[in-house]
Structure 1
Amino acid sequence: MRVIRQLSTSRRLLQSLIQKQKYQATTYARPHDLILSRGKNAMLYDDVNNKEYIDFTAGIAVTALGHANPQVADIMCKQSQKLIHSSNLYYNEECLKLSENLVEATKSFGGQYDSSRVFLCNSGTEANEAALKFAKRYGILKNPSKQGIISFENSFHGRTIGALSVTSNPKYREPFGSLIPGVEFLNINDELTKLDQQIGSSKDKVAGLIVEPIQGEGGVFPIPLDTLIGLKKICEDNDVIVIYDEIQCGLGRSGKLWAHSYLPKEAHPDIFTTAKALGNGFPIAATITNEKVNSILKVGDHGTTYGGNPLGSAIGNYVVDVIADQKFLDQVVDKGSIITDRLRKLQKRFPEQIKDVRGKGLMIGCDFSEAPSKIVEAARDAGLLIITAGKTTVRFVPALTIENDLLEKGLDIFERAVEKVYN
């Protein structure tokens, strides 16, 4: 009788929560009967339905140090009792420390060698908005008509109007009509000579170029290092500011602190952006610049009310301290190898269905010959949460702290889901 009463109570609660979904804006497609209650590292729990899931999504590459991280919870508790917010009118200790941490860790771990200044904000799209504004400011001071932005096909940089303007997918752009003018989308796979000609012919009109070192939402495509090296040279020759969007691929996700840490310093950006993992779920982001960019900024050129708040900054300091450690980064590479090895073996079993396995570190794409929605659903039914990228790619972005045995167990479920769909 007790079990029956519990089931009845759970059903009533589920129906009540489903009813409340009518108050949500119609902007997401979500399974209506999956209601998450809590998490622990790479596990998520739906207590309403008494289900548990291995999580290969990490909140879309956000909870890099795991769900309900006890150290993050402790920091939030202690800092919230001291100071949560003080506005950008005053300095606070945690904000200053985080700015220093980001710059010094970047230099120490092979990132932007001339990194100098940090603008703290609240989300990836905000960080990219700041980067675009800084680049346009630089260009306009050189020449009033030099304010265009180069972006690339298959890119994703955010949903606000400025960031959306440099996001290539028409599905995201076209419903909103006229966006920011002067944006041109190039093909990142074109020969460098063609890209050189395209950028050079517009050098008097182009202020900045923005690119993801690993394209995320577009399907997990690592940009060849030679391409990024060549692009930086082209931009330097034409006095174009280079922005690397490391919102998803940064902070250890690629197996290095930054995805551009794989590059020699002559290919480092003038600006790069980070968010997602920086707060491990708490909203915080950063735009990091060199002095070339900072030198043209004046007080009042940009701002944000919540950016650099003590609570977010305290969490960011902890995240940077944990990830900026070579042993930690090495284990990210090792875990990534476990995934890619298993997926390539699976590809040999299903060569017609699995076209490619690509990525770096714990940002890996398994590309199918068709939309993998049935695989996502079959995996979820069996207790594994995975997400897609682009039209045909399953994206693997688990917590960087996922236990190896849990990783293997999740891959077992994924293999069975593929077998179920294709056998």
Structure 2
Amino acid sequence: MNVTRDLFNDVMVPNYSPSAVIPVKGLGSRLWDQTGTEYIDFAGGIAVNALGHCHPELVKTLKHQGETLWHLSNVLTNEPALRLAKKLVDATFAEKVFFANSGAEANEAALKLARRYALEQFGEHKNQIIAFNQGFHGRTFFTVTVGGQASYSDGFGPKPGNIDHLDYNDLASLESMISDKTCAVMIEPLQGEGGVVSPSAEFIKGVRALCDKHNALLIFDEVQTGVGRTGDLYAYMGLDVTPDILTSAKALGGGFPIAAMLTTTAIASHLKVGTHGSTYGGNPLACAVAETVLDIVNTPEVLSGVKQKALLFRQGLEAINQKYDCFGEIRGKGLLIGAVLSEKFAGRARDFLVESANEQLMCLVAGASVVRFTPSLIISDEDIKQGLVRFERAVAKVVNG
């Protein structure tokens, strides 16, 4: 069969508009397309390929598990799921784990749990969910409504109710909106899709304090920030703020679909038998791979390496900016980096992405005015330097028209 980009238009639903480039092979932080052209990958499958492409340990685990046990359903448990859950519990604040297949599903579970907990502990009046403008929590109807970009949830009929949005980093607004009717506050401990925005220490600690004051659960969506991305295993650890519920996906499987919702025993007890479920959640294939990812990432070498590589990345971007003066700010934490376009280039992030691909570099955007980088956590320093050379060529093309 002749597989071309045109075939996409023939057979796929048109909700995506993928690049003309079709990668066929990946290794480490490099990709090759159908013509054999090689790319450096600074996108990492949107913060998913935490250990790059085809990491030998992950390949080995997948092959072994693939010859052992694939699927059971949750009528039965399995060893990889139990081992992974134990390791997540041991490594975090959590005492209980629920497995799903995607960040959206983990967030859906978190929101359902928060509503259930509030209903059973306090009564029907306690059902308000507060989230933040430009936040992103997934594409199910519940999670996309909690997400702070109405354009993603408009046009599908009546939305789930009692969900309110505030500006990120605006503690005064939260203070005026939160009440004893609030069941949960859902927040990214560093906004990803919304432009790579870090919380101020005062803000994030204030959110925790207000949740405590009003008996509201604090949900951290760590789908993008989790599993080493910020230089801590989970971003909450670097903020010195502990949530009640945490969601993890993306990097957790290193490219294999898996997600987890983590919480305490007391809160988890409200998802009694039959209240929630997932056919594939916790399947042995995904859990085996994720266990290997966690074993590799949750080490001092990898986590301190993220911080060191982030510095190299930022220095390179600053050097490019000194020449071309196109960024107003380089922001983010660890290897979740946003280059914010200056006023002159506002709204043109996609141009930088397209020219980067023309220069054999894969990167991302976070909104119309931020170029986003989420490479492998173990990308070599050489690949960072070489990738930035390619990025500089792309920047020169955009800037010089």
What TM-score does the superposition give when structure 1 sets the normalisation length?
0.91
- Name 2:153's counterpart in structure 1: 173
Superposed, 1:105-120 pairs within 5 Å as: 105-106=91-92, 112=93, 115-120=94-99
* 2:133 is the alignment partner of 1:159: no
Which one of 41, 54, 58 corresponds to residue 68 of structure 1? Answer: 54
* 2:11 is the alignment partner of 1:23: yes
Superposed, 1:45-194 pairs within 5 Å as: 45-46=32-33, 48-106=34-92, 112=93, 115-141=94-120, 142-190=122-170, 192-194=171-173
Instruction: Report the Cα offset of residue 19 of structure 1.
Output: 3.3
Q: Distance in 2 between matches of 1:297 and 1:30?
A: 39
Secondary structure class of the residue paired with 1:221? coil
- Name 1:359's counterpart in structure 2: 332
Secondary structure class of the residue paired with 1:214? coil
Q: Distance in 1 between matches of 2:5 and 2:389?
A: 32
| Unaligned ranges ≥5, structure 1 | 1-11, 107-111
Give per-residue Cα distances to partners, 1:346-368, cap 9 Å, x unaligned.
Answer: 233333x3111101110000011
- Name 2:192's counterpart in structure 1: 216
What TM-score does the superposition give when structure 2 sets the normalisation length?
0.96
* 2:13 is the alignment partner of 1:34: no
Range with greater deviation from structure 2 (18-27 or 124-133):
18-27
For 2:42, give the aligned amino acid. F
* 2:224 is the alignment partner of 1:245: no
- Name 1:233's counterpart in structure 2: 209
8 Å contact 1:153–1:188 — kept in the other structure? yes
- Name 1:8's counterpart in structure 2: none
For 1:123, give the aligned amino acid. S
Instruction: Report the Cα offset of residue 140 of structure 1.
Output: 1.0
Which one of 359, 382, 386 corresponds to residue 359 of structure 2? Answer: 382
| Unaligned ranges ≥5, structure 2 | none
Give per-residue Cα distances to partners, 1:199-245, cap 9 Å, x unaligned.
Answer: 13xx22x2111000010011111112221111011001100010000
8 Å contact 1:250–1:274 — kept in the other structure? yes
For 1:181, give the aligned amino acid. G
- Name 2:183's counterpart in structure 1: 207
Q: Distance in 2 between matches of 1:420 and 1:121?
A: 43
In structure 2, do the counterparts of structure 1 residues 20 and 195 end up closer, same or farther at CA, with 3 Å as the change threshold? closer
Secondary structure class of the residue paired with 1:399? coil
Secondary structure class of the residue paired with 1:305? coil
Range with greater deviation from structure 2 (306-315 or 173-182):
173-182
Instruction: Report the Cα offset of residue 17 of structure 1.
Output: 5.1
Q: Distance in 1 between matches of 2:329 and 2:8?
A: 41
Q: Distance in 1 between matches of 2:185 and 2:349?
A: 32
Secondary structure class of the residue paired with 1:394? strand
Secondary structure class of the residue paired with 2:353? helix
Tell me how many residue pairs correspond in the alignment. Answer: 395
Q: Distance in 2 between matches of 1:365 and 1:331?
A: 19
8 Å contact 2:350–2:368 — kept in the other structure? no
Give per-residue Cα distances to partners, 1:123-149, cap 9 Å, x unaligned.
Answer: 000000000001000111111121121
In structure 2, do the counterparts of structure 1 residues 379 and 193 end up closer, same or farther at CA, with 3 Å as the change threshold? closer
Q: Distance in 2 between matches of 1:17 and 1:271?
A: 41
Instruction: Report the Cα offset of residue 292 of structure 1.
Output: 3.1
Q: Distance in 1 between matches of 2:146 and 2:24?
A: 36
Q: Distance in 2 between matches of 1:269 and 1:249?
A: 14
8 Å contact 1:131–1:287 — kept in the other structure? yes
8 Å contact 1:270–1:292 — kept in the other structure? no
Q: Distance in 2 between matches of 1:236 and 1:313?
A: 33
Secondary structure class of the residue paired with 1:104? helix
For 1:57, give the aligned amino acid. A
For 2:304, give the aligned amino acid. D
8 Å contact 2:148–2:165 — kept in the other structure? yes
* 2:374 is the alignment partner of 1:400: no
Give per-residue Cα distances to partners, 1:275-327, cap 9 Å, x unaligned.
Answer: 00111111100000012311323111111011111111111110111111112
Instruction: Report the Cα offset of residue 263 of structure 1.
Output: 2.5
Instruction: Report the Cα offset of residue 421 of structure 1.
Output: 1.2
Q: Which has the larger radius of gyration?
A: 1
Q: Distance in 2 between matches of 1:263 and 1:249?
A: 12
8 Å contact 1:152–1:168 — kept in the other structure? yes
Range with greater deviation from structure 2 (357-366 or 72-81):
72-81
8 Å contact 2:364–2:371 — kept in the other structure? yes
Range with greater deviation from structure 2 (95-104 or 218-227):
218-227
Of all paired residues, the percent bearing the same amino acid is: 38
Give per-residue Cα distances to partners, 1:349-405, cap 9 Å, x unaligned.
Answer: 333x31111011100000113222222111111110111011210001001111110
* 2:263 is the alignment partner of 1:296: no
Q: Could you say what the CA RMSD is over the residues aligned between the two structures, in angstroms?
A: 1.4
- Name 1:9's counterpart in structure 2: none
8 Å contact 2:169–2:200 — kept in the other structure? no
Q: Distance in 1 between matches of 2:282 and 2:138?
A: 20
